[in-house]
Amino acid sequence: MIVYKFIKSHFTLLLLTMILTFIVGCAQTPAEKVELTISAAASLTDACKEIQTAYESKNKNIKLNFNFGASGALQQQIEQGAPSDVFISAAAKNMKVLVDKQLIDSSRQINLLLNELVVVVPADGEAAIGQMSDLSSADMKHLAIGEPQTVPAGGYAKEALANAKLWEPLQDRIVQAKDVRQVLTYVESGNAEAGFVYKTDALSSKKVKVAFSVDPKTYAPIAYPAGIVKATKHNKEAADFYAYLQTKDAQDIFMKFGFSIPK
């Protein structure tokens, strides 16, 4: 009987030790990284790269994968079922389409940022451009804008040109780009004498300079809404990042790159 009790006691102790070892081992095993896909307007590229560094440094289990592009193209990708957890658009209309199609919940989207439209020219350019009417001068052979149907910056540019009665007269000079960053590249390389970009894009390049700011009364307000995609497989993590975008830390980064925050 004494031997039996000893064996039973020893077995119980061994079993408890194994259980504790298993629990400790599980606690020490690093959590599996969650990868979030953020579909973001191309004009957010520089700011979001810094956002990524800041966020991942404080959230070791999160990996942010940014899919940058024209807001219209990103909207279509989400409509077609492409993986995406959070969408940040450069135009309210693209977000509205996804909300209307119930792909993003209206209660989980917000106007995050504001921007301005400017016309840039090569930093070493000699073209005398200081106002909208100068875009019709003989020196202006190529004017770059984003494709108006899919690139919000292009849509704003078309609206401003139409209000100045220049959209039709300049058709043979307009060069359309797949996104606002390509417009910037056209001007940087000298393939276009001028181009319509956001203020934030102009600030990101030393190869261009702002010729003039476009009158904000001539185009719709440039708002950047952000929202959580309903199809996300990482609801908590997507919600946490969406909340982070609205914090002072994130807003300070956005403002550093020239964005402003809605009041």
Q: Which residues are annotated as a binding site for molybdate?
A: 43, 71, 153, 180, 198
**Four-point Cα dihedral 125, 131, 134, 140, nearest 10:** 40
The answer to whether 156 touches 196, Cβ cutoff 8 Å, is yes
Binding site feature residues: 43, 71, 153, 180, 198
Residue of 175, 173, 180, 188 whose CA lies nearest to 122: 188
C-beta neighbour count of 61 within 10 angstroms: 11
**92 — phi, psi (to 5°)?**
-65, -30
Residue 119, amino acid: V
Residue 224, amino acid: Y
**C-alpha span between 159 and 196 (Å, rounded):** 12
The answer to whether 72 touches 50, Cβ cutoff 8 Å, is no
Cβ-count burial 162-201 (b if 16+ within 10 Å, e if not): eebebbeeeeebbebbbbbbbbbbbbbeeebbbbbbbbbb
